[in-house]
């Protein structure tokens, strides 16, 4: 097992392990990235950042690239429909000194696809290559690419996309093992991750899809041969998944996280958001996180209901005190 846990190099960036936090819109802001890094994630990607927004200097867009506490390697994920848009955004992106730039070619959300970005790029593999080449030629930052297996089951073109991306200079490729049409159902096709890695044995391949527990992470690494894994939905409200995966891979029994520690993590998370966004906005943003943190915690339904109306840090504290620790 221990051989599955190892450091990894992406371009000129050396990372201490192969356990990553995936980019998640609405979740992986600088506060939560810092929390996950403190619990053992080796790399944490930003939320999706609009290249067009960066090029225009949109304040709400560029703030997504702010570096979190203890975030040595900032990994920025950009989404754009073409290389020209990305090129116009590079000056603004580089102002945040990213260690890695990721290109989103996997987001299945209609409002992203209708712009020609995200999974829409899977229908234009050559454009993906142009975007990668543009970043490689204009920066010294390693480029990673996030894809799905294809647009739909009739167009599983992940091998072609990967070949073009690597030929253009990509340092790593992450694949969510579903097509765009499959969204998040049914079960992810991990066998396609194994196939991808077998075709590119000397390239860094990162696996994603249906990683909800530490056991899932261990199984993906062992069954597919990917070099690294990227936790997405499984990490929402569960920053502990990284240390638990490390424990399993090291032949140890993962510790059970007590409710008291989850409450401490919630309050630390909330306080970080208050510093970042102000109390009112932070309290609204934190509601979805608390529901995820408390999933499976006995007798937490009432607390989750109370925080859906909480507008102050004290209101959160009062609600959480009702949990049985």
Structural domains of the chain sorted by starting position, each given as residue range(s) with its CATH number in brackets: 2-249 (3.20.20.70), 259-320 (1.10.1200)
Q: Does the structure show a pLDDT above 90 at 53? A: yes
- What pLDDT does 324 receive? 65
- What pLDDT does 1 receive? 60
Q: Read off the pLDDT of residues 259-276 as tens digits, 9 standing for 90 and up.
A: 999 999 999 999 999 999
Count of Cβ atoms closer than 10 Å to residue 266 Cβ: 22
Burial profile 66-97: b = 16 or more Cβ within 10 angstroms, e = fewer: ebbeebebbbbbbbbbbbebbbebbebbbebe
Q: Read off the pLDDT of residues 165-209 as tens digits, 9 standing for 90 and up.
A: 999 999 999 999 999 878 777 789 999 999 999 999 999 999 999
Which one is catalytic: 36, 105, 107, 283? 107
How many Å apart are CA 324 and CA 318, to the nearest integer? 13
Count of Cβ atoms closer than 10 Å to residue 137 Cβ: 10
Enter the pTM of the model.
0.94
Q: Read off the pLDDT of residues 70-81 as tens digits, 9 standing for 90 and up.
A: 999 999 999 999
- What pLDDT does 17 receive? 97
How many Å apart are CA 302 and CA 305, to the nearest integer? 5
Q: Read off the pLDDT of residues 109-127 as tens digits, 9 standing for 90 and up.
A: 899 999 999 999 999 999 9
Mean pLDDT of 123-150: 97
Integer angstrom CA distances of residue 117 from 25, 89, 304: 15, 15, 35
As given in the structure block, the two tokens for residue 247 are 């424990």
- What pLDDT does 313 receive? 95
Comparing CA positions, the residue from 233, 229, 256, 232 lying closest to residue 244 is: 256
> Residue 107 catalytic?
yes
- What pLDDT does 325 receive? 55
């Amino acid at each position: 097992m221990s051989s599955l846990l190892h450091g990894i190099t992406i371009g000129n960036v050396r990372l201490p392990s192969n356990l990553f936090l995936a980019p998640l819109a609405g979740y992986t802001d600088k506060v939560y990235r810092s929390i996950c890094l403190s619990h053992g994630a080796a790399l944490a990607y930003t939320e999706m950042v609009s290249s067009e927004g960066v090029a225009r200097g949109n304040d709400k867009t560029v703030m997504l690239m702010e570096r979190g506490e203890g975030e040595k390697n900032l990994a920025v994920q950009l989404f754009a429909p073409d290389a020209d848009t990305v090129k116009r955004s590079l000056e603004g992106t580089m102002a945040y000194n990213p260690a890695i730039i990721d290109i989103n070619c996997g987001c299945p959300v209609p409002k992203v696809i209708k712009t020609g970005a995200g999974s829409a790029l899977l229908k234009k593999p050559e454009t993906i290559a142009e975007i990668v080449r543009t970043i490689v030629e204009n920066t010294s930052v390693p480029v990673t690419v996030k894809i799905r297996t294809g647009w739909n089951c009739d167009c599983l073109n992940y091998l072609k996309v990967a070949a073009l991306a690597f030929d253009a200079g990509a340092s790593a490729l992450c694949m969510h093992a579903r097509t765009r049409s499959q969204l998040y159902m049914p079960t992810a096709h991990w066998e396609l991750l194994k196939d991808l890695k077998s075709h590119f044995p000397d390239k860094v391949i990162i696996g994603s899809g249906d990683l909800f527990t530490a056991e899932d992470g261990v199984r993906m690494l062992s069954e597919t041969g990917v070099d690294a894994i990227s936790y997405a939905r499984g990490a929402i409200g569960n920053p502990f998944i990284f240390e638990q995966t490390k424990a399993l891979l090291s032949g140890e029994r993962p510790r059970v996280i007590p409710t008291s520690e989850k409450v401490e993590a919630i309050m630390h998370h909330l306080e970080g958001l208050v510093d970042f966004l102000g109390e009112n906005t932070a309290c609204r943003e934190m509601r979805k996180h608390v529901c995820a943190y408390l999933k499976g915690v006995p007798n937490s339904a009432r607390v989750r209901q109370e925080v859906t109306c909480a507008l102050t840090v004290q209101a959160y504290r009062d609600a959480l005190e009702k949990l049985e620790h």
